[in-house]
């Protein structure tokens, strides 16, 4: 009787490598899909945070925290104002109202060194919804990314 040494034969190893290769080919597209879904979730959250802060700024303007001027719409003049805060004129002592701790970035913006405010497209109160243009205030923000999400809606329209 001949004693066999423990281990795998070359055929067994080739079969295992082939199976692992087939599984890897099937998982690779799923991994990129998961990464895109994570970026889309971050984009949705960033848009929600910025838009909520813009709305809170407008509510404070309407409540009298800022001086009223005839040529102002009541929306912030820039995105940076949301993190820098505004001086509340209703308070007897100087007190600032802050709307965001930090300005989120657009996760699809290609240049990681660009300031967060430069990663967003801006729409002023005076511009139409179908052709957003920047102006003297920030009424809304949108993504500058080209392409569409997994739901088929272009990122610019989110």
What are 51-61's pLDDT values in tens digits?
A: 999 999 999 99
pLDDT beyond 70 at 3: no
In the chain, where the domains are located: 24-148
Please state, in angstroms and rounded to a whole number, the distance separating the CA atoms of residues 1 and 125.
91
Q: In this predicted model, what pLDDT tens digit does every residue of 72-107 receive, in sequence order? A: 889 999 999 999 999 999 988 989 999 999 999 999
Query: Residue 4's pLDDT is what?
Result: 67
pLDDT tens for 100-154 read: 999 999 999 999 999 999 999 999 999 998 889 999 999 999 999 998 998 999 9
């Amino acid at each position: 009787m001949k004693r066999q040494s423990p281990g795998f034969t070359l055929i067994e190893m080739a079969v295992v490598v082939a199976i692992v290769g087939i599984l890897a080919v099937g998982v690779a597209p799923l991994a990129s899909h998961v990464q895109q879904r994570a970026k889309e979730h971050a984009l949705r959250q960033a848009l929600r945070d910025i838009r909520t802060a813009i709305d809170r700024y407008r509510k404070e303007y309407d409540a009298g925290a800022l001086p009223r001027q005839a040529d102002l719409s009541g929306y912030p003049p820039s995105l940076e104002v949301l993190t820098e805060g505004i001086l509340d004129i209703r308070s007897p002592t100087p007190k600032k109202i802050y709307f965001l701790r930090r300005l989120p970035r657009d996760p699809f913006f290609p240049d990681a060194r660009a300031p967060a405010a430069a990663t967003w497209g801006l729409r002023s109160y005076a511009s139409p919804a179908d052709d957003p243009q920047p102006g003297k205030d920030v009424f809304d923000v949108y993504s500058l990314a080209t392409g569409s999400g997994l739901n088929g809606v272009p990122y610019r329209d989110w």
